[in-house]
Each structure stands twice: as C-alpha cells, then as structure tokens.
C-alpha cells in the first residue's frame, strides 16, 4: 500500500543508503571529529558561506537545539498555532528550555509583522515572558511557502525589535524547489539567524542539520546539543547521508519531484466535482475536503491523516519516491468511491 500520510513514511534513497555503507568501511574518530563530518561542513559552506553546523537525530531535536541557542528561560518563542514546535512536539521546547511559546492563529500557517506586533507590548514588562525569537516553518505545516519578500520583511521586523528568527526547515528543500531560488538567498541572505535543514523527510534514514548563521549563537551550541542528547558518537553516519544529499543537488531533485507529484495530485483530484482543494499547494502537501462517506474507505487503500477532525479536512503528502502511477491510482480509487 502506497501511503500519502507523511513524507517520513518513505524509505531511504538508494544513494543515501550507499553513503551509509561507504561510511561503514573503517574506524573513524567519534563525536563528529571525522572525515565525513568535515566533508559535509565543506559542502554546507559552499552553499551558505560561513556557517556552524551541528546535527540532530530528528526534527524535534534540531528545533530544541536551535531554540536553546536563542533563548533564556524567561523569554518566549513566537510561532504560528500550527507550528510543529507547538502542535507536535509534546511540549518539548517548553520542557527542555523552560521558555514559553506565544502562539498566533494564522490564515495560511505564515506569520507576519502585523500578527506579531501586539505581542511586542510585553517587552520590558517584568510580569510577562519576553518575546525573543520568531520561529517560522518553511514550508509551513499547511503546505504553504513564504516568499523571499515575506521572509525579508519578517526578518527585518524581528531584528529591528531585538528578536531573532529561527526557521524550522524540516521541509526547506520543498520550499526551495517551490521558490526556484538558492538555499542561501532564501535563508541567510534574508536574515535567518538559525535553522534546521531537514533530511528525514527528503530521503535520509535519519538526521537533520542545525545551521547557525548568527555568530552570537554559535559558542554555546555544541553544549546545548550534548545536553539535549543529540550528539551522536557515530556522527559520520549522519554526515555521510548529508554528503550524498548535497552532492549534485540530490536534495533539490527529490524535492522538485515530490512537489510535482503534489501538483499532479491536486490537479487530478480537483477535477472531481465533490472534491475541494482547501489550501494553496506550494510544496508537497495537498489539503482537501471530500465527501465524508469516502474517507474511511479511501484510508483502507491508502493511508493518510485527517488534518482537522472538526471540518474533516484531509492532508495528503507526497514524497521523493511517490510515482505518477501511484498518484493516478489514488485518484482512480477516490473517483470509484465517490461514484
Ligand atoms: C514542520 C516540522 N518540523 C519538524 C518535524 C520533525 O519531527 P520529528 O521530531 O518527528 O523528526 C516535522 C515532522 O513532522 C515537521 O513537520
């Protein structure tokens, strides 16, 4: 059964698996002082310029390390209500850092200065947690993508108000594939201070990279990584995966494909009069409402999640390994169930 549930249902890209095999040939120095970790750093520097790179086992870990670098326990992270750090990390940021999250409802998963401004009146009031970081997801949990202009406006606004910008890039590859600009242009050049570069949802067995651009945040980062139990003694196996991912833009090719499959899925399902595509399909997620009687039957054939139990809005995710045939097969099944 091919699933449209999540891009982490997919397996490992063969080139990534080969890279793990390659790194398995001999002994290497542990804790990231190895050939593979320094080669991966070189590749990240070729893309971003000067950057500090640390690794995490998963996206939650990468977010905790990143936010820990930015914040003190009496400070707060501003994020969308839909942000993974708020809705899907079991309170990990607040538990691990002691900070609070100031969440904002959004129309499309994206934060804007207008939404954030009312929270700034807290600054300097000892009775309030102090906003310090704006955390955004790119692409967002609602499948939308911030434009370069939106990113620049948000980062300038943050910095003018003494705030930092964290980017949860679990799906940064899909966002870049959608924007058609370089990784550097859409991150450090816009003013992002710290971000995660997702691997797990784009063909890795596991692993995310924390990329730190703001010099002030670099010094304490390795200690936070260790304290957060995210320092892998055999780091070469994460780094080797990133070497393969970054070589010849494999990350981009996979993300372009996943996004194209989402476009196909949206185009084909929207031809069915009973199906409503509910959100912009900017990256690799399609949100839809279909007749409720068909949901469970469709789930028996292709696993996917109901995004909103109240409205019965569904989320269909495409991966680097989703094929056109699988998309068309899904659409065929849906048509048969609705008939
Ligand atoms: C936006 C976003 N950030 C981070 C993550 C990482 O989560 P995990 O800790 O499960 O790897 C996910 C996974 O669903 C995500 O969608």
Q: Is the CB of 7 under 6 A from ligand 1?
A: no
The number of residues in the chain equals: 339
Q: pTM here? A: 0.97
The whole-number average pLDDT for the span 174-187 is: 98
Mean local confidence (pLDDT), 140-159: 98
Within 8 A by CB and 6+ apart from 22, the residues are 240
Half-sphere exposure of 292 (CA within 13 A, CB side): 5
Q: At 243, give phi and psi (nearest 5°).
A: -60, -50
Q: What is the mean pLDDT of residues 38-42?
A: 98
**34 Cα: distance to centroid of ligand 1 (angstroms):** 27
174 Cα distance to chain centroid: 9
Which helix H or strand E contains 289, and what residues bound it?
Answer: strand 285-289
Separation of CA 37 and ligand 1 centre (Å): 23
Mean pLDDT across 152-175 = 98
Phi-psi region of 308 (alpha: psi -120 to 50; beta: other; left: phi over 0): beta
The answer for residues whose C-beta is within 8 angstroms of residue 107's C-beta and 6 or more apart is none
Question: What domains are defined for the chain?
Answer: 15-248 (3.40.640.10), 250-338 (3.90.1150.10)
3-state class of 54 per DSSP?
strand
- Answer whether 53's CB lies under 8 Å from 211's CB: yes
Q: How far apart are CA 306 and CA 289, in angstroms?
A: 10
Residue found under tokens 């804790």: 31
Angle between helix 250-269 and 236-246 (nearest 10): 70
- Residues whose CB is less than 8 angstroms from the CB of residue 79 and which lie 6 or more positions away in sequence, other chains included: 85, 86, 101, 102, 103, 104, 111, 134, 135, 136
200 CB under 6 A from ligand 1? yes
CB of residue 137 inside a 6 A radius of ligand 1? yes
Instruction: Tokens 């910008």: give the residue.
Output: 165
The answer, yes or no, to whether any atom of ligand 1 lies below 6 A from the CB of 86, is: no
Residue 105 confidence (pLDDT) above 70: yes
Q: What are the backbone dihedrals phi and psi of residue 196, each rounded to the nearest 5 degrees, phi first?
A: -105, 145
Of 88, 95, 106, 141, the residue with max ligand 1 atoms within 8 A of its CB, to mutate for a pocket test, comes to 88
- Residue pLDDT, tens place only, 247-269: 999 999 999 999 999 999 999 99
The residue among 243, 219, 212, 193 whose CA lies nearest residue 54 is: 212
* Cα within 13 Å of Cα(15), Cβ side: 16
8 Å CB contact between 154 and 113? yes
Note the pLDDT of residue 267.
98
Helix axis angle, 250-269 to 324-338, nearest 10°: 20
Residues 232, 30 contacting (CB under 8 angstroms): no
Statement: residue 300 has pLDDT above 80: yes
Q: Which residue, 146, 149, 204, is CA-closest to 172? A: 146
Q: Which residue in this structure is represented by tokens 């797990």?
A: 200
Q: Does the CB atom of residue 84 touch ligand 1 within 6 A?
A: yes
170 pocket-lining for ligand 1 (C-beta < 6 Å): yes
d(CA 127, CA 152): 31
Ligand 1 contact, 60 CB (< 6 A): yes
Closest CA to ligand 1's atom 5:
59
Confidence check: pLDDT of 1 > 90: no
Q: What is the mean pLDDT of the chain?
A: 97
CB 264 within 8 A of CB 256: no
Interval 213-233: pLDDT, tens: 999 999 999 999 999 999 999
Going by C-alpha positions, the residue among 134, 185, 180, 199 that lies closest to residue 283 is 180
3-state secondary structure of 102: strand
């Amino acid at each position: 059964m091919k699933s449209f549930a999540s891009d982490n249902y997919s397996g490992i890209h063969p080139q990534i698996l080969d890279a793990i095999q390659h790194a398995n040939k001999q002994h290497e120095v542990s804790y990231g002082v190895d050939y593979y970790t320094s080669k991966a750093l070189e590749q990240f520097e070729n893309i971003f310029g000067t950057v500090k790179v640390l690794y995490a086992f998963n996206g939650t870990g990468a977010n905790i390390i990143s936010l820990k670098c930015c914040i003190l326990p009496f400070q707060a992270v501003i994020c969308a209500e839909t942000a993974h750090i708020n809705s899907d990390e079991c309170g990990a940021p607040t538990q691990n850092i002691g900070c609070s999250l100031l969440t904002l409802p959004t129309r499309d998963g994206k934060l804007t200065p207008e939404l954030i401004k009312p929270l700034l009146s807290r600054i300097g009031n000892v009775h309030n947690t102090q906003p310090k970081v704006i955390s955004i997801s790119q692409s967002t949990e609602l499948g939308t993508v911030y434009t370069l202009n939106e990113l620049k406006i948000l980062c300038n606004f943050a910095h003018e108000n003494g705030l930092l910008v964290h980017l949860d890039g679990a799906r940064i590859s899909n966002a870049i594939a959608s924007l058609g600009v370089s990784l550097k242009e859409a991150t450090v050049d816009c003013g992002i201070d710290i971000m995660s570069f997702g691997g797990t949802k784009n063909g890795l067995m596991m692993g995310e990279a924390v990329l730190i651009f703001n010099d002030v945040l670099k010094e304490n980062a390795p200690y936070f990584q260790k304290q957060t139990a995210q320092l892998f003694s055999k780091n070469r196996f994460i780094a080797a995966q990133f070497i393969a991912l970054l070589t010849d833009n494999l990350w981009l090719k996979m993300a372009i494909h996943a996004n194209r499959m989402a476009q196909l899925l949206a185009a084909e399902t929207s031809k069915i009069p009973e199906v409503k595509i509910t959100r912009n399909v900017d990256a690799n997620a399609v949100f839809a409402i279909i007749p409720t009687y068909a949901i469970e039957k469709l789930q028996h054939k292709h696993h996917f999640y109901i995004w909103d139990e109240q409205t019965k809005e569904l989320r269909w995710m495409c991966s680097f390994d989703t094929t056109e045939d699988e998309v068309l097969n899904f659409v065929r099944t849906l048509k048969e169930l609705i008939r």
